[in-house]
Amino acid sequence: MPNLDIAAMVQAFAVGVIPVLFAITLHEVAHGWAARAFGDRTAEMLGRLSLNPIRHIDPVGTVVVPILVFVLSGFSFLFGWAKPVPVNPRGLKRPKQDMVAVAAAGPAANVIMGVFWAFIVVMASGSAAAGNTVGVFLTEMGKIGVFFNAILAVFNLIPLPPLDGGRVLRGLVPESIGRRLDAIEPFGLIIIVLLLSLGLIWPLMGPMIRSLQLLMYTLAGAGGA
């Protein structure tokens, strides 16, 4: 446990909370938007297409986990997730095919948000270099937004259910393989936690996260940050 520095904690939390909160919120809302576009209005009827983060708070993923990760990382990192948006495959026009697009919508939203935050970095970096307090704040916030959205996009595309990548894979493979993926899904999170604890995921994800960050900055008009 790092030594508690309240001032550093408040400063780091203030910089990171907005990009992290909206990254996990818009990720889930994007699933709902895509589902509605393909015929399923479940999320809309339950009021889950709102951009109000309060409607998507998960007590564990949005509150407990981010605080624990934030403190244990020495106030340098935030990670969490929102309450999943409900999707009824039977409400989709073509359930198997449409679920691919619905699942992919979340990571796609994170990529778009990452480009937005990279643009903020590009726009604010000049004033930050001149010592402007607002410029420094926006630059640091933007960098966190790029980093966190890259993590969410890459992590969720791991081809293991119940992650988005697993649902995309489920819609692309033959039904015989799909049923095997369905059997794995109840144990998916346990498998992921085990792989994380053994250090087997981050060495693979790290280069992809860095490459995606570079792409975000490039699309925003910069070569890096």
Q: Quick one: DSSP state of residue 63?
A: I
pLDDT for the residue 97: 93
Q: Is 224 within the bounds of a domain?
A: no
**Taking the complete model, does pTM exceed 0.95, yes or no?**
no
Of the residues 28, 140, 175, 185, only one is catalytic, namely: 28
pLDDT digits (tens, 9 = 90+) for 128-160: 999 899 999 999 999 999 999 999 999 999 999
Q: How far apart are CA 191 and CA 172, in angstroms?
A: 22
Tell me what percent of the residues of the chain surpass a pLDDT of 70: 87
Domain hosting 144: range is 6-219
| 58 has a pLDDT exceeding 90 | no
What 3-state class would DSSP assign to 85? coil
Q: Is 99 within the bounds of a domain?
A: yes
Q: Is 77 within the bounds of a domain?
A: yes
Q: Specify the higher pLDDT residue, 185 or 66.
A: 185
Q: Is 1 within the bounds of a domain?
A: no
Known catalytic residue at 175:
no
Q: How far apart are CA 197 and CA 17, in angstroms?
A: 25
Q: 95-129 and 133-156 are packed helices; what angle lies between their axes, rounded to 10 degrees? A: 160
Structural domain count, the chain = 1
pLDDT for the residue 3: 52
Q: Is 75 within the bounds of a domain?
A: yes
Environment class of residue 159 by beta-carbon count within 10 Å: exposed (0-12), middle (13-18) or buried (19+)? middle
| 224 has a pLDDT exceeding 50 | no
Measure CA 9 to chain center.
22
